[in-house]
A and B are shown apart, each in its own frame.
Chain A
């Protein structure tokens, strides 16, 4: 193994008081793949994303990003290293326009300080033009042209979800974390979303860790799935292996039904 993996999670445990949210979770995200993270409600999927992006600090375990340990780093430091994420509730900045939301993705890549930004003409303007170019590319990519100058708060949910994805893409990340990006989308929006995801995979080659409830969507798109249940990994593999796994059936449907079937 010459190049370290994009993301390697080892023996990850997380406690909130007496509640064990994660217990000894292991998995690896390989270069260029889409790794699906599924499980019933409260399985700890979002917790894993929050640990990786530095919002939670785990009780035990390691998270390696390209061989570098992320535990103990603060959220913004992890973002600067090259991990971008979306949020389940989108978390756009409601009073800012779509354009400004996306421009924030470039925050880490320009250096203007309070004086050069206040004077604006010169350095800051040059920076702004350069990042605007990058943002326009993402707007093209996600077909968000019509929303560019509208406040994020008033957008339909599907569009807000795409802006959230765009904000992460603008960061030009080396690992992308997606937290239920398709929830609340209707069928055409999901189809568009699937298309964007495949383009990200094949054109940008960004490895993705994807939390999702829509099993059909994730089954079609993800290369591998990791199934969580009550904070423990119960299965890993491609979709066919995973849905045939008795532990997964038990977690999703229950034991009694399996026994009577």
Chain B
């Protein structure tokens, strides 16, 4: 085709996620940047990167559940806890501890069963009532794991041995970074494929108009159960990976706040956007560290030092309030505007958004 634009001549071309050479180029640059990151960044930054990657997997799953299927869940921390404590229970009950490649899928299976149970109220309840039922699931699960932890005789968490995957020993933050990067990329590709195919369309249809979805032949109950089961399973595996990464699982970590933070991630990043899940996970995970750095760089009078925690929470609340007021579609909407500006530059023409994602 002579150089006069970009033409799509087949359906697969039209379905492609990165449909232009320009976008593919930027994708490659992004991936190269991520691969190069551990070589240049100090260890502390790699550690933060790992935390962001772990949070992104769970945030992405919450976005599939809440942003795509429309079921708001405040119980996300419970599924992370279930994953972490499946690993913990397997590790302390078996000698020698079962291998990494067995415990993580086991955590996924536990998460799936728990998600299946959690989805049953969703078949009857809507909106606020569903949120309440997820809160109760959160407390049931966290109470169970904290009882387990104290009954097993551990006061401040259960130690988890270093993960080994065949010849690969995941012991420093750099190997973890590459491992988590691969996992995140796989989960992301899987999620993108889901939302651009039959399953994702059914989820979004249920979110938007469930009666119309049923009239088109979508089994609403089945797809709600599927959404809960699938996302909980992957979230539990993320929780298991987190436990291996930190080398411990502590019940105190999984507070209701954690569940709220995950909701905050998808609000700030963009509800119903895969890319937004990453933005949100990065901002919310890094914010305490950013504020910490800020407090250290400006000389905070010692009198105010005790309020650092309170200020962090206030800043967090302010951030969410600002997003809800000013940009309800989250960071991804801002990103889209910036991208359109540069794509169109120097013209001011704004084409209508081709997609809502």
Binding site for B on A (CB under 8 A): 53-55, 74-76, 79-80, 84-85, 87, 91-97, 100, 103-105, 107-108, 110, 112-114, 117-120, 124-125, 127-129, 132-133, 149-151, 154, 167, 171
Contacts A93-B212, A133-B11 supplied; 12 other A-B pairs, CB < 8 Å: A75-B214, A84-B216, A96-B204, A97-B356, A107-B201, A107-B202, A117-B199, A117-B200, A120-B193, A120-B196, A151-B356, A154-B352
The 30 listed contacts between A and B (C-beta, < 8 Å) are: A53-B215, A55-B214, A55-B215, A76-B220, A79-B214, A84-B215, A92-B209, A95-B204, A95-B208, A95-B272, A96-B208, A96-B356, A103-B201, A104-B205, A105-B216, A107-B218, A108-B217, A110-B198, A112-B197, A113-B199, A114-B194, A117-B193, A117-B197, A118-B190, A120-B196, A125-B15, A127-B197, A127-B198, A151-B353, A151-B355
What are the interface flags for B212-228 relative to A under an 8 Å C-beta threshold, 1 for contact and 0 otherwise?
11111111100000100
Task: Select which of A53, A76, A104, A108 is within 8 A of B201 by beta carbon.
Answer: A104
B217 near A171 with CB under 8 A, answer yes
Chain B residues contacting A133 (CB-CB under 8 Å) are 11
Task: Select which of B207, B215, B356 is within 8 A of A75 by beta carbon.
Answer: B215
Binding site for A on B (CB under 8 A): 11-12, 14-15, 190-191, 193-194, 196-202, 204-205, 207-209, 211-220, 226, 230, 272, 352-356
Chain A residue nearest in CB terms to B198: A112
A96 to B200, CA, bound (A): 11
Q: Assess A124 versus B193: contact at CB under 8 Å? Given A55-B211, A151-B356.
A: yes
Closest 5 CB pairs of A and B: A108-B217, A75-B214, A120-B193, A79-B217, A93-B208
B352 near A117 with CB under 8 A, answer no
A118 to B14, CA, bound (A): 18
Nearest Cβ distance between residue B104 and chain A, in whole angstroms?
18
A87 near B356 with CB under 8 A, answer no
Nearest Cβ distance between residue B145 and chain A, in whole angstroms?
27
A119 to B187, CA, bound (A): 10
A75 to B193, CA, bound (A): 27
B12 near A76 with CB under 8 A, answer no
* Residue of B198, B200, B218, B356 most packed against chain A (CB within 10 A): B198
Chain A residues contacting B220 (CB-CB under 8 Å) are 76
A76 near B230 with CB under 8 A, answer no
A85 to B217, CA, bound (A): 11
A116 to B12, CA, bound (A): 16
A114 near B201 with CB under 8 A, answer no
A75 to B214, CA, bound (A): 6
* Residue of A87, A104, A113, A125 most packed against chain B (CB within 10 A): A104
Chain A residues contacting B194 (CB-CB under 8 Å) are 114, 117-118
Chain B residues contacting A129 (CB-CB under 8 Å) are 11-12
Nearest Cβ distance between residue A37 and chain B, in whole angstroms?
17
Q: Assess A85 versus B215: contact at CB under 8 Å? Given A93-B208, A97-B355.
A: yes
A112 near B199 with CB under 8 A, answer yes
Nearest Cβ distance between residue B350 and chain A, in whole angstroms?
13
Nearest Cβ distance between residue B314 and chain A, in whole angstroms?
33
A53 to B196, CA, bound (A): 28
Task: Select which of A95, A104, A132, A149 is within 8 A of B218 by beta carbon.
Answer: A104
B352 near A171 with CB under 8 A, answer no
A124 near B214 with CB under 8 A, answer no
A74 to B207, CA, bound (A): 19
Chain A residue nearest in CB terms to B352: A150
Nearest Cβ distance between residue B184 and chain A, in whole angstroms?
15
